Amino acid sequence: MKILPSSLREKKRYLAFRIDYEGDEPVDRKALQDDVYHATQALLGDAGSAEIGYRLMDFDGRRGVLRVGLASVETARAALATVHTIKGQRATIVVAGVSGTIRAATEKYIASEGIPSTNILSMQVSGTASGIAVREKGDEIDIIPDDKEALKRGNTRWLGLASSDIVINQPQE
């Protein structure tokens, strides 16, 4: 079976979101998915929830990135707004923004919050330059520096550093 060319595939959008949750512990990924699917099904029915095509790309317990179809962005936002409990605790899902790529969603809407998290999400770093790490690949780390003038001087969107150049600031618990 042949793969569809990219021009014929459905276009995707990525919703960056955060969860305002009454509980103290992080939200479980499976519990979030179940409650989002149930709320969507209650609002739109089986056919409507299938058209949205949700896929949770990344989630750290309080914020994440959700993939939906281009035609279903507004419907997905409405469905997320109807979620009012997760694991029996009161909660709301706030969509921070919509983007065409995971990287852009992370850089624009999640990395700027400065909250330490998992794999593709942000963490505060310092060393030769300080800022928010947005991507890690082996020993190399791309950061959005605190000094925005460094981006203007270099005519770039982020700086690439080796892990030997930085110190990761772990959150105080």
3-state secondary structure 28-71: CHHHHHHHHHHHHHHHHHHHHHHHHCCEEEEECCCEEEEEEEHH
Which pLDDT score is estimated for 13? Answer: 95
For 14-41, how does the pLDDT look when each residue is reduced to its tens digit (9 = 90+)? 999 999 888 788 888 999 999 999 999 9
Which pLDDT score is estimated for 170? Answer: 53
For 63-122, how does the pLDDT look when each residue is reduced to its tens digit (9 = 90+)? 899 999 999 999 999 999 999 999 888 999 999 999 999 888 888 888 645 444 344 345
- Walk across the sheet containing 140-145 and list its strands: 159-162, 140-145, 131-137, 123-127, 166-168
Q: In whole angstroms, what separates CA 9 from the centre of its chain?
A: 23
Q: Note whether 49 and 127 are within 8 A (CB).
A: no
Q: Sketch the domain layout of the chain as residue ranges.
A: 12-107, 122-168
Report the CATH fold assignment for 12-107: Alpha-Beta Plaits (3.30.70)
